[in-house]
């Protein structure tokens, strides 16, 4: 009965859910799988003792923004912190795209469309080209649309792994006034950032997260870098107490100890190269090169490969969609986890190969 009272956009959404994963090798969500450094954990807990939980958190997250300013080399007054960058994506949609078009370069991160729907924006896909590069001509055409509200470019792109060049970003910025968001959730694994264009283009927004490289997914801290005007608009619509006391404190401690994570990030990038080489050597499997902490690959019968991995307690992401047929995405985990994944995947493919050969003869049903 209530269904009739809500917007079609909301009626058609599906609640977010994630698979149960206890006891699994978890390579499905691009988290940092290294153990959280015990010295950082201990420092957080020692400081938490001095905190009061009866008062609201600092709505401006002033001290955390100072830490982020130091890390990102960007003025604190133009940094905004969110309850994960997911919250910032939704607020960007609310502020700049309601009743307008939100251009999304598919295939890409699925939450953009969902946040657009929630915010009453019209999500419009601008399909990527052959090797998943963005279609600059199509974007420039979209930029002329009087209903254009926002364009989101994910770089490196989840799930394909490729980056969009800064030249392309700048060509787009030169030709539009709509808000252009570059989502750099995986920035630390590639080192390329559009932040250097922020002083020239007031409509540019750079999104970052502490969930991926810095292993803080459970505490929900994301941030954005933008010009003064966009920051001012976003400050008007943000929930005052969006980032809680504990998360603000933990994020600060983590940024003070970031050299530990920088070592992990280097190791993850080295593991990414090893994993890519291993995947490349497997028959019938095609990995795509990645500038992030995950690798997308294509293999015939991806859904059954996914299921077989699950039977071996390995959880990865099945993408298999019309845009990404037979594609899977695996996060780069700890070296030992990557090793087990590679071994099990090799076993699965070898077994299929021998089945395939038998299948040609009379033993088809065995
Ligand atoms: C994981 C991810 C996010 C979400 O980050 P949170 O800060 O945890 O909300 C945003 N964008 C992309 C592309 C991601 O992959």
DSSP letter for each residue of 144-170:
T-TTEEEEEEESSPTTT-PPPPHHHHH
Q: Is 364 exposed, middle or buried (0-12, 13-18, 19+ CB in 10 A)?
A: exposed
Nearest protein CA to atom 15 of ligand 1, as residue = 158
**Omega before residue 247 within 30° of 0, cis:** no
pLDDT of residue 353: 80
Q: Would the CB of 154 count as within 6 Å of ligand 1?
A: yes
Residue with the smallest CA separation from ligand 1 atom 11 is: 185
User: Which pLDDT value is given to residue 18?
Assistant: 81
Strands (DSSP E) contained in 85-203 are: 101-104, 122-125, 148-154, 179-183
Residue 182 is predicted with a pLDDT of: 98
The pLDDT value recorded for residue 357 is 58
Residue whose CA lies nearest to ligand 1 atom number 5: 85
14: Cα within 13 Å, side-chain hemisphere: 4
Going by C-beta distance under 8 Å and a sequence separation of 6 or more, which residues neighbour residue 139? Answer: 103, 105, 126, 151, 172
pTM of the model: 0.95
For residue 185, what is the DSSP state? T
Say if ligand 1 is within 6 A of residue 209 CB. yes
Q: Is 72:208 a contact under the CB 8 Å cutoff? A: yes
In the sheet where 204-209 sits, what is the strand order? Answer: 79-82, 222-226, 204-209, 179-183, 148-154, 101-104, 122-125
Encode the chain (366 residues) as per-residue pLDDT tens digits.
788 899 999 999 999 988 788 889 999 999 999 999 999 999 999 999 888 899 999 999 999 999 999 999 999 999 999 999 999 999 999 999 999 999 999 999 999 999 999 999 999 999 999 999 999 999 999 999 999 999 999 999 999 999 999 999 999 999 999 999 999 999 999 999 999 999 999 999 999 999 999 999 999 999 999 999 999 999 999 999 999 999 999 999 999 999 999 999 999 999 999 999 999 999 999 999 999 999 999 999 999 999 999 999 999 999 989 999 999 999 999 999 999 999 999 999 999 888 765 544 444 343
Question: CA 340, CA 333: separation in Å to the nearest integer?
Answer: 10
Using a 10 angstrom Cβ sphere, with 0-12 exposed, 13-18 middle and 19 or more buried, the burial of residue 171 is middle
Whether residue 296 contacts residue 310, with contact meaning beta carbons closer than 8 Å, is answered with no
Interatomic CA distance for residues 184 and 154, integer angstroms? 6
86 alpha carbon – ligand 1 mean position (Å): 6
In short, whether 294's Cβ falls inside 6 Å of ligand 1 is: no
**127 Cβ contact partners less than 8 Å away, ≥ 6 residues apart:** 105, 106, 135, 138, 323
Pocket test for ligand 1, best of 155, 183, 185 (most atoms within 8 A of CB): 185
Query: Could you tell me which of 330, 274, 342 has the C-alpha nearest to residue 302?
Result: 330
**Distance between Cα 44 and ligand 1 center (Å):** 23
Closest-lying ligand 1 atom to the alpha carbon of residue 210? 7
């Amino acid at each position: 009965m209530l269904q009739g009272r809500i917007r079609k956009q909301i009626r058609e959404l599906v609640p977010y859910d994630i698979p149960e994963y206890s006891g699994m090798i978890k390579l499905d969500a691009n988290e940092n799988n290294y153990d959280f450094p015990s010295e950082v954990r201990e420092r957080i807990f020692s400081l938490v003792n001095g905190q009061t939980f009866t008062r609201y958190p600092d709505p401006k997250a002033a001290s955390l923004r100072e830490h982020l300013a130091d890390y990102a080399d960007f003025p604190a007054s133009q940094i905004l912190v969110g309850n994960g960058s997911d919250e910032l994506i939704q607020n960007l949609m609310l502020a700049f795209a309601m009743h307008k078009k939100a251009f999304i370069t598919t295939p890409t991160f699925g939450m953009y469309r969902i946040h657009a729907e929630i915010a009453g924006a019209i999500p419009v896909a601008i399909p990527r080209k052959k090797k998943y590069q963005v279609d600059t001509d199509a974007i420039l055409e979209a930029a002329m649309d009087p209903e254009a509200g926002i364009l989101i470019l994910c770089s490196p792109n989840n799930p394909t792994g490729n980056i969009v060049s800064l030249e392309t970003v700048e060509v787009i910025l030169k030709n539009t006034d709509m808000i252009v968001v570059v989502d750099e959730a995986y920035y630390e694994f590639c080192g390329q950032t559009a932040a250097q264009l922020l002083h020239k283009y007031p409509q540019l927004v750079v999104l970052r997260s502490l969930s991926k490289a810095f292993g803080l997914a459970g505490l929900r801290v994301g941030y954005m870098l933008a010009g003064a005007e966009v920051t001012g608009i976003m400050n008007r619509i943000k929930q005052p107490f969006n980032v809680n006391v504990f998360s603000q404190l933990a994020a600060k401690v983590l940024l003070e100890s970031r050299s530990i994570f920088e070592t992990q990030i280097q190791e993850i990038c080295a593991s990414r190269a090893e994993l890519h080489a291993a995947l490349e050597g497997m028959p019938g499997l095609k990995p795509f090169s990645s500038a992030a902490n995950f690798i997308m690959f294509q293999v015939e019968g991806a859904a059954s490969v996914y299921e077989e991995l699950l039977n071996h307690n390995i959880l990865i992401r099945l993408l298999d969609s019309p845009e990404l047929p037979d594609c899977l995405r695996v996060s780069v985990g700890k070296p030992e986890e990557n090793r087990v994944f590679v071994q099990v995947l090799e076993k699965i493919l070898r077994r299929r190969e021998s089945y395939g050969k038998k299948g040609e003869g009379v033993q088809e049903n065995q």
